[in-house]
Structure 1
């Protein structure tokens, strides 16, 4: 970079950026320290003012920010960054603007919800995974460039294959031998069609909204992140414990939160093993709990056969499984009672 008059280069992305970006930094040889995570707000969206401040800091250090990445559907919470504002930043600072829409890109098929991705049309490149909301088998990721000529910067040829003028996509990717996965996407687009995808996507987003309402109405659960797309996070927290958390000392609160983390993991594993239903889990840093790393249930509602009754049964099963915990549940109950008794709450 010194040849071009810079001390180093950098890529900026939300702290919720996908782990594959670190892989890309390794492959590019720029080092993971050059992939700079930017703080997110309470809704898990990147804080644009924080990104601008970091851009100014890099400029002062003579470090070239060559790309800004906006996330259109984080893997953990399904949150969409303010893409238009990031596009403005990229333009102002002369950066390539990439949008990671692996999760949310298919939402463009929905006339009702495509506005959630406003600003994506200003991206220089966009990633979309067809094996997510385009319902194609695993391994159908793609990147779309506004200017296809950009691909020629990583174009390679050989005399026996990938000759100049050939249409083999392997000439532009790390993987030389490419499968025929594109045919599955082509077939799905023609069979399911734009209208079919719109129905699937609308249904999945609205089902997530219904489930979020169900969780908020249940006294034993806490909705951690509200859904923008078809993802949401939540956890089981007994009603009395929710009350105790507001009255606890700092040490008591930490003990309760740690026990709730253990209980969430216990419920998730036992529910998976039971074979009746399944939710995944992850760890995020909710602002409500002072950015403490917190274990939560993570739900993706993309299956059109999932009914409202099934979702009700998922919560009911989790309540019953919580009763089977002989370590975390008793610990939570004992400390909860101690805190509430101290405050004369029966």
Structure 2
């Protein structure tokens, strides 16, 4: 079995095997005509369950043949222009090259003696991103597995900073306050359209879901800062402590960007940590034309960025950044076998000192390769294209009487629903909701396109997430026609059965 280990004796086998795998994927990409085959769970499950994992094939070519049947044939291909579902982007080739390199070398980014240049490359990219945000000379950060982890990491720092500050104030006033006494009094403020990871983070941090105050949004689906101001004042009046205000720069459902300058002002007035979840909107950091949409992000205490959303990177590639590098110490633990305290004193750069992960992939290499080949403007221009496409898509939807669209997009998301033309009252609200769900499911089952769905004010809506510069307005129009056809058929059959 040693013949399968990657080393100096198997370099030729490695080259041949990986090349065959690349050839298979390249052939699949070249011949894919729709984003999904339409296969169902019931069809695919017995195929995979029927494979005996205790009887290896012994040959990579045979395993790749099998992989065609269990994965490659039926995978959802995000590069297809009619994949309009979730926040998944097609990936750029330099990043895929980086992925191949980092997987083969297999550096672990927790300590210097496991990564060397990898550590310095990651640190350089964190510095570059922090400068793009405008966080200042004291900024720092670390790569993470994704936006949920980045948000959790940021709120962990915010929690411990709040505890440090409030407990010191109490001590200065002659009162001793323990962390256990303080935690139930901490509150997090975020918009009702923010990512669910804020609530999950609060629960995992021992604060409970009830610690999160959901602030209503305005008509543009941005946090209503007048309500935020009232909520912060009420928090203080009740003897509670505003631990953090989480602003979103690109909500998952609407792509809306909260009013960052005003939120920064309010957070500062109430001594609350300001976190900006820019997992989606971070592509604006390299936009040649739309960087101003993130004005105010430079005031944040921490920022989440997901390069694997709007920088066209393979999953996973994310980071959390902080204005004050000293706050990262809240996640530091010195283990004698890994990163003893003496290493910090000797200025040995161990990334585990600031991460909540230990073993960690060299995901930064993908972004490094991308910037070295394409440049920041190259990435930003791609993101600009999909933002412009969404604006054109909104015009199409707004002019089409078959649909209602919720809000004019700031980024590249469109939320809409099919509404049939009627002379009377129209279908029952529950039936209209079912029509949206049916259209989405039927479209996915056909394999012709993939769209997402969500709820707005209790009603079912459909969603286009546009992250593919290859998608055109003709694709949008064609998918809308398919949605309308499926919804019309469902409503027609449902009304016929009712009558």
TM-score scaled by structure 2?
Answer: 0.60
Tell me: CA distance 1:331–1:274, structure 2 relative to 1, closer, same or farther (3 Å): closer
Query: What is residue 181 of structure 1 aligned with on the other side?
Result: 363
Query: What is residue 72 of structure 2 aligned with on the other side?
Result: none
* In 2: Cα distance, 1:52 partner to 1:175 partner: 36
Aligned counterpart for 2:208 among listed residues 7, 26, 31: 31
Report which structure shows greater RCO (CA 8 Å, sep ≥6).
2
What does residue range 335-346 of structure 1 map to in structure 2 within 5 Å?
none
- Say which SS state the counterpart of residue 127 (structure 1) adopts: strand
Query: What is residue 231 of structure 1 aligned with on the other side?
Result: 413
Tell me: CA distance 1:74–1:268, structure 2 relative to 1, closer, same or farther (3 Å): same
Aligned counterpart for 1:323 among listed residues 483, 488, 493: 488
* In 2: Cα distance, 1:172 partner to 1:35 partner: 25
Q: Is the 8 A contact 2:192 2:215 kept in 1?
A: yes
Q: Is the 8 A contact 1:263 1:329 kept in 2?
A: no
Gaps of 5+ in 1: 286-292, 339-346
How many residues were matched structurally? 317
* In 2: Cα distance, 1:237 partner to 1:122 partner: 42
Query: What is residue 177 of structure 2 aligned with on the other side?
Result: 3
Query: What is residue 226 of structure 2 aligned with on the other side?
Result: 49
* In 1: Cα distance, 2:455 partner to 2:315 partner: 24
Gaps of 5+ in 2: 1-162, 164-175
* In 1: Cα distance, 2:353 partner to 2:430 partner: 50
- 2:470 is aligned with 1:305: yes
- Say which SS state the counterpart of residue 295 (structure 1) adopts: strand
Q: How far does the alpha carbon of each residue in 1:163-195 deviate from its partner, in whole angstroms, 9 at most, with x for none?
A: 433434333233211111111122122222111
Offset of residue 333 of structure 1: 8.8
- 2:430 is aligned with 1:265: no
Q: Is the 8 A contact 2:191 2:216 kept in 1?
A: yes
* In 1: Cα distance, 2:339 partner to 2:310 partner: 31
Q: Is the 8 A contact 1:259 1:332 kept in 2?
A: no
Offset of residue 317 of structure 1: 1.4
Tell me: CA distance 1:108–1:334, structure 2 relative to 1, closer, same or farther (3 Å): farther
Tell me: CA distance 1:332–1:127, structure 2 relative to 1, closer, same or farther (3 Å): farther
TM-score scaled by structure 1?
Answer: 0.86
- 2:186 is aligned with 1:14: no
Higher Rg of the two aligned structures: 2
Q: Is the 8 A contact 1:125 1:144 kept in 2?
A: yes
Tell me: CA distance 1:273–1:168, structure 2 relative to 1, closer, same or farther (3 Å): farther
Offset of residue 274 of structure 1: 0.8
- Say which SS state the counterpart of residue 44 (structure 1) adopts: coil
After the TM superposition, which of the residue ranges 22-31 and 99-108 deviates more from structure 2? 22-31
What does residue range 55-70 of structure 1 map to in structure 2 within 5 Å?
55-70=232-247
Tell me: CA distance 1:312–1:333, structure 2 relative to 1, closer, same or farther (3 Å): farther
After the TM superposition, which of the residue ranges 47-56 and 183-192 deviates more from structure 2? 183-192
* In 1: Cα distance, 2:318 partner to 2:301 partner: 17
- Say which SS state the counterpart of residue 177 (structure 2) adopts: helix
- Say which SS state the counterpart of residue 308 (structure 2) adopts: coil
* In 1: Cα distance, 2:474 partner to 2:386 partner: 15
Aligned counterpart for 2:276 among listed residues 83, 99, 115: 99
Tell me: CA distance 1:11–1:324, structure 2 relative to 1, closer, same or farther (3 Å): same
Query: What is residue 173 of structure 2 aligned with on the other side?
Result: none
Tell me: CA distance 1:168–1:284, structure 2 relative to 1, closer, same or farther (3 Å): farther
- 2:454 is aligned with 1:282: yes
Query: What is residue 155 of structure 1 aligned with on the other side?
Result: 332
* In 2: Cα distance, 1:275 partner to 1:217 partner: 27
Cα RMSD, aligned residues only: 2.2
* In 2: Cα distance, 1:168 partner to 1:188 partner: 25
